[in-house]
Structure 1
Amino acid sequence: MACGRACLILQRRLATSAAAERVSAAEVRSWRSTLFSKEQERQRSLYPRIEKIEVTMQGAGVQGTLLVMNKGLSTPYSCSRHLTDWHVSSAALALVDGEPWHLHRPLTRSCSLTLLTFKDANPQLPNQAYWRSCAALLGQVLEGAFKEEYNVELLRIPEVPVTAGAFCCDFVLDPQLDAWIPTEESLRSFTRDANQLIHQNLPWEPLEVAPPVALEIFSHSRCKQEEVEEKAAQSPNGTVSLYRCGHHVVLAGGPLVGRTGLCSQYEVTALHTVGEGPWGLQRRAQGLSLPVNLTAHHTVWRRLKQRAEKLVEIDSSVASETETTPTSSEATSSSSQP
């Protein structure tokens, strides 16, 4: 009930603000998160009675272990807690009957389950999920880094391989900031903000939703609505994958890792101006990270960082228009003051 009342208040606020005043970034985040919670509660209510399922564990040391779990409630993370502390802390992703599965996504049938870590013999899937998660974290930082009077439009997260040398997040700033040039202190500030989220060890909560739900959540953004329609059209079951970290809701092209605390070394390395796009002057933020327990010597890290500073080329169309800007210190919030 509380969630429903909050939704109604926000809906009225957002509906009237177009004529009265611009909706703040904080209000948009609250709107998204509230609707996410509402749909999450609706989906949980689909399993009013506890039904048992059998989960057969796969992998070294747990091969053939049988767990009896709760349908629609238990997750791969729940299963890891029945094993060892190492499984709880090391698991980054799961395979359910061979399908990549987020650690906090409920299990809906009896299945085989493999917990994946970054130290597996073939860590390709967790590495891809990690790179995608680092980009999502960067978007979360950028969305909250500027003062409330400036809009930050996050574009789709580019799917780049780990071999590209940097994860990326494309975005468009308020037209007033088109001439803004980030400084080294700006990048350090973004890095500090990211590390604060990492230290909080926040979960990435997954939610599969029907397109109308996703369109309502992103009702303020034409760019995101187009992305929702494209992802729904490409999805075998017609749904869209959403993830929430704190109050930040993101669309993802694949599974993310379980929590921000799996990130270790993390640095925002560059912010490039890509060119004019359909939504405005498009920029590309880039970063470099290693997961927990996989640190690099400072000389190796320096070489990796130099590579991550170079623009990652992505085949995408860009176009739009520029205007004037305040200085870096005028544009950013007090928590991210370049």
Structure 2
Amino acid sequence: SPELQRLRAENEKLRYRLLHLRRSLAAELGRAAPAQPPAGGEKVSSASPADAVVQIKEEKTKENEAVNQHQNDLQCMPSFIEDRLKLYEVLKKEHDALLAYRAANQSKSIKITLTDGEMVEGESWRTTPYQLAVGISQVLASNAVIAKVNGELWDLDRPLEGDCTLELLTFDNEEAKAVYWHSSAHILGEAMEGYFGGCLCYGPPIENGFHYDMYIEDRSVSSTEFPLLENRCKNIIKEKQAFERLEVKKEILLDMFKYNKFKCRILNEKVKTPTTTIYRCGPLIDLCKGPHVRHTGKIKALKIVKSSSTYWEGKSDMETLQRIYGISFPDNKMMKEWEKVQEEAKNRDHRKIGKEQELFFFHDLSPGSCFFLPRGAFLYNTLMDFIRGEYRRRNFTEVVSPNIFNSKLWEASGHWQHYSENMFSFEIEKETFALKPMNCPGH
């Protein structure tokens, strides 16, 4: 009955809250435990070989504890994950049977044209881009992030279906980078789902990394939880979970994701075809067009950067979501270089400089708006005078236009579809208005 389902859902939430409280308490106790100083006047000697052995054993013990914790976490996962996996296994068997049938009865010789113009032969429904990459070079196969077949991004382990052109893209390619970060978002999503037990929403790659949004009722994400989430991500990476792609009917997916109203909204409002694709890695199954890297082990270095709150699809009258940002790279050296750049950028941050030099400040009462102090106002006016002088010299004239427009303008211009989430919008007499997000006068 609906009442029984409601009680079960409430019990699930309470169980997760208790789990989080225990974790938080354990983390606090770990941080609070002081290191034991040496006895008064006692010199600290260098470590002996015996000490080194003890240290190795301790590190091994910690590693085993982390593995055991990961296994316990898997056992404590929400019940909807188990239900989702059961349905997925049925669908996977059907998919594998269809692929085996095509390989046995519809396979034919095909020609694949490589980027250097060389042509190689393969078999439809059997040969994969990864197999061809191995035939060229094991190094290339290891470094390849994704394939491009007839100009379309294609999973490395997905069989080719006919004559085609083939490119193998590595991390230095922008499209491959986006795929790499998209796959990293799925790893983060798996960690978040197991840790918070909430409803995943969107998890895209962005310009510098990736993020995942989750609906967690009556809760926000704390930066103290980042190490716990990162440890989960590391375990997922160690497991080298394969990314599996299935094409499934929309009505079946509505049943699979019935626990998640956000995924159901996406299916009902965004999916206009009878079928769409899902991807699995480990216990995570997500609505996704893909493609992805071969397995989670391809992500060599991953870091959680920050978290924030946002609204579902950027609409202030919709549910509040928790967004967690991350970054990842194919090796630790690239991560260290990125961290160095971020540290240097902090020192050049205009907010830091503005405060130190008493130029301006920001306040939560007007987010994103600048309060200029006398020194800053002097610089601002000097720059404006310079710009106006350049206008006059080039025979330009100025206009003054409103700062607030009806959202219909932004929909017509295309800004709403891309930037509505970060625009300041509000409702007046059932019409949505927003501050203009750029400096165009609006004509």
Structure-2-length-normalised TM-score? 0.56
Cα distance change on mapping 1:186 and 1:294 into 2, 3 Å: closer
- Deviation, structure 1 residue 245: 0.3
Letter of the 2:271 partner, please give it.
Answer: A
- Out of 101, 111, 115, the residue aligned to residue 59 of structure 1 is 115
**Equivalence for 2:271:** 232
Residues 1:99 and 2:152 are matched in the alignment:
yes
Mapped partners of 1:159, 1:45: distance in 2 = 33
Percent of aligned pairs sharing the same letter:
22
Structure 1 residues 213 and 79 mapped into 2: Cα distance closer, same or farther (>3 Å)? Answer: farther
Q: Max radius of gyration: which structure?
A: 2
Which aligned pairs between 1:36-75 and structure 2 lie closer than 5 A?
Answer: 36-47=88-99, 48=101, 49-50=104-105, 51-60=107-116, 63-71=117-125, 73-75=126-128
Higher relative contact order (CA 8 A, sep 6+): 1
Listed one character per residue, the Cα deviations across residues 136-194 of structure 1 (whole Å, up to 9, x for unaligned) are 21111110113xxxx4111122453x2xx34111111133x3xx4513x3111111211
How far, CA to CA, are the matches of 2:255 and 2:5 in structure 1?
A: 16
**2:210 pairs with 1:167:** yes
8 Å CA contact retained: 2:257, 2:264: yes
CA distance in 2, matches of 1:202, 1:225: 26
Map 1:144-293; keep pairs closer than 5 Å. 144-146=194-196, 151-158=197-204, 160=206, 162=207, 165-175=208-218, 177=219, 180=220, 182-183=222-223, 185-233=224-272, 238-274=274-310, 280-290=319-329, 292-293=330-331
Mapped partners of 2:249, 2:129: distance in 1? 23
Q: Per-residue deviation at 1:84?
A: 2.7
What secondary structure sits across from 2:161 in the alignment?
Answer: coil
| Structure 2 gap ranges (5+) | 13-76, 352-417, 424-443
In the TM superposition, residue 55 of structure 1 has moved relative to its aligned partner by 4.2
Whichever residue aligns with residue 255 of structure 1, its letter is: P
Q: Which residue of 2 aligns with 1:296?
A: 334
**Equivalent residue letter for 1:68:** G
User: Is 2:8 the partner of 1:18?
Assistant: no
Number of paired residues? Answer: 282
Shift of 1:222: 1.7
Specify whether residues 186 and 30 from structure 1 end up closer, same or farther in structure 2 by C-alpha distance, changes over 3 A only.
Answer: same
| d(CA) in 2 for partners of 1:186, 1:274 | 19
- Quick one: distance in 2 between partners of 1:283 and 1:306? 28
Shift, 1:240, TM fit? 1.6
Does the 8 A contact of 1:77 with 1:104 survive in 2?
A: yes
Question: How big is the shift at 1:304?
Answer: 3.0
Secondary structure at 1:295's aligned position in 2? helix
- The DSSP-based 3-state class of the residue aligned with 2:271 is helix
Conserved 8 A contact 2:115-2:165:
no
TM-score normalised per structure 1: 0.72
SS in 2 for 1:267: strand
Q: Determine if contact 1:132/1:167 at 8 Å carries over to the other structure.
A: yes
